[in-house]
Structure 1
């Protein structure tokens, strides 16, 4: 299949905007972008007076090495959110096309689709003793019936923490070849010790993968993410992207964070997070105020509570802010707890243990 067949017909020949930094030119006096010839007094390194490179080669090469792809298969952008938005822009005609989501899942898929005028069909995840799982046959059926252009999958899932089988993702992409793109959001894959869906790209060009430096690499404020896909689709997304998506200070921070010494520290912290996740899960399962701790392959745990309001209030009273999910369908008793430092996790357990003692005394 030609992945360009999935692109909106009106955008297949779209050239996009060519900024002053789009052309590779050499010179010593730069007067082509209407920039200030003098740095701002607050810009000690004179880094900010020039527009940044839209797609810095060294950043793309470093991210490609990190994610096991070619630089031509990678578009760097503002976190995973921009990748979601760009894919919707490039593949979905406003008011005409449809995307598939599987709730509970990351809310930005539906938000971006709605802002883009794209219909959303939900094929909810199933919950059983093993946690949340995806009914891939139902997803494929829904995509075919609706002639969907994108299927959004989150693996590991947010907020469920569930890991989707790679072979099932591949089967779905094969079934939808030439009809829809299967977008796999791997924001938390570093915590799963599992292969990436990027390993499927060579044979399945309708797969796109979202990655981010916000989680495992601790760069949430820098807003550096990537879309990894067939090189022809990446070229289309680039033409749909804003002229200067990557602030130079954020690129510098990313390069420093991806240097070998920093990557070694990140690897160690991922291992510590996984260890703390297991410890927190084990302890939470023993508390009478917690009905269920769902399995997780991410840097958080989802718990179902006997009284989620009391649990949320008890944690907040102890100065601990967790994610209240009770407004989401099927999660009326659920809280999501990010894995913190050992000391922070101890505070979570102490607050919920104290709540259990109070509830036991009241009974």
Structure 2
């Protein structure tokens, strides 16, 4: 490691809470790399549960399942040492806020309207929340990166969360803008790019920025495009030094063995090929549904989206929500979110499910 790399690594670790920089965490029975035939070190049952035919669930799982970690590293094009696997992206967000933010002193920056877990984690840690609202323009909602940088600098933020594609608005953050922000905040803040919906976007991933910018971290998940929401497999991709710190703060056994096994199988070449085909189908449905919705009376605006959802403004959002619900279609009511008092977020389903959305919203006009 050259002098510049050493300086960047030191700057990154200085973002971690002072009292956690040397924290070792809990040493579980699976922490040490021990080998044996009779395992009597974890107070586990010597017999399987009667309902566990395979018998594997009587043993505690690997804290970071190696096969899964390697599969995720291949999927995202990084080293296994840069991968932290957790219970959905939510756990990674919580770990970042707890590990970096000193309660009642440090802050995080978010860009509402946006995914609510950033603010929830800040509240639980007593970290100050600095909000830089998205700008609603002709091309859709966008991030004012200059305002984000100023807010982070003036507010003493340790974390900046950028959701790209943003949930619920659908816009992506330009990669060059993220790089410039990371360079400006080097040594001051970690720029966390939440790419939960990245597979549905044609924009390049911020993972490409990590070699040059140690203060960039990326959140990914298998819940959306990979259809494994119930398995709760989220991934933080970050500098190995930061990954080690967060591992020490993580619960001992975050990934159940059945979930890890399912995820590894879901990342096989055959499964990935089918996932890619479904992503393309979702992209096609996104364009079709957007055009059809925009043609309906009562629809004020359909926002462009890089995710697997559409944000739609209605002349009567409450009435539209009620008609959809009466037709058995459940969408996300966004009316309580800032700037979205007349909006609903509609996830993309199968072609048949999307047709039900259109039929329900068009029913009132047809009856008239």
CA distance in 1, matches of 2:203, 2:38: 49
Report the alpha carbon displacement of residue 356 of structure 1 after superposing the two structures with TM.
2.9
CA distance in 1, matches of 2:34, 2:313: 58
CA distance in 2, matches of 1:89, 1:209: 17
1:195 matched to which residue of 2?
Answer: 204
Does residue 276 of structure 2 align to residue 276 of structure 1? no
Does residue 30 of structure 2 align to residue 21 of structure 1? yes
Report the alpha carbon displacement of residue 205 of structure 1 after superposing the two structures with TM.
0.3
1:109 matched to which residue of 2?
Answer: 118
The count of aligned residue pairs is 359
1:76 matched to which residue of 2?
Answer: 85
1:96-127 residue CA offsets vs partner (Å, 9 max, x unmatched): 11000000100000001101111101000000
| TM-score, length-scaled by structure 2 | 0.97
1:137 matched to which residue of 2?
Answer: 146
1:123 matched to which residue of 2?
Answer: 132
Report the alpha carbon displacement of residue 129 of structure 1 after superposing the two structures with TM.
1.0
Does residue 74 of structure 2 align to residue 65 of structure 1? yes
Secondary structure of 1:6's aligned partner: coil
Report the alpha carbon displacement of residue 328 of structure 1 after superposing the two structures with TM.
1.1
Alignment map for 1:196-215 (pairs within 5 Å): 196-215=205-224
Q: Which runs of 5+ in 2 are unaligned?
A: 1-7
CA distance in 1, matches of 2:83, 2:144: 29
Preserved CA contact (<8 Å) 1:184 1:209: yes
Preserved CA contact (<8 Å) 1:213 1:219: yes
Does residue 317 of structure 2 align to residue 339 of structure 1? no
| TM-score, length-scaled by structure 1 | 0.98
Report the alpha carbon displacement of residue 90 of structure 1 after superposing the two structures with TM.
1.0
Secondary structure of 2:13's aligned partner: helix
Report the alpha carbon displacement of residue 357 of structure 1 after superposing the two structures with TM.
3.2
CA distance in 2, matches of 1:159, 1:357: 29
2:40 matched to which residue of 1?
Answer: 31
Q: Which is further off, 26-35 or 1-10?
A: 1-10
Does residue 88 of structure 2 align to residue 97 of structure 1? no
Query: Which of 244, 248, 256 is the matching residue for 1:239?
Result: 248
1:260 matched to which residue of 2?
Answer: 269
Alignment map for 1:287-302 (pairs within 5 Å): 287-302=296-311
Secondary structure of 1:194's aligned partner: coil
Preserved CA contact (<8 Å) 1:311 1:355: no
1:141-184 residue CA offsets vs partner (Å, 9 max, x unmatched): 00000110000110000000001100000100000000000000
CA distance in 1, matches of 2:121, 2:21: 21
1:45 matched to which residue of 2?
Answer: 54
1:250-300 residue CA offsets vs partner (Å, 9 max, x unmatched): 001101111111111000000000000000001001011100000000000
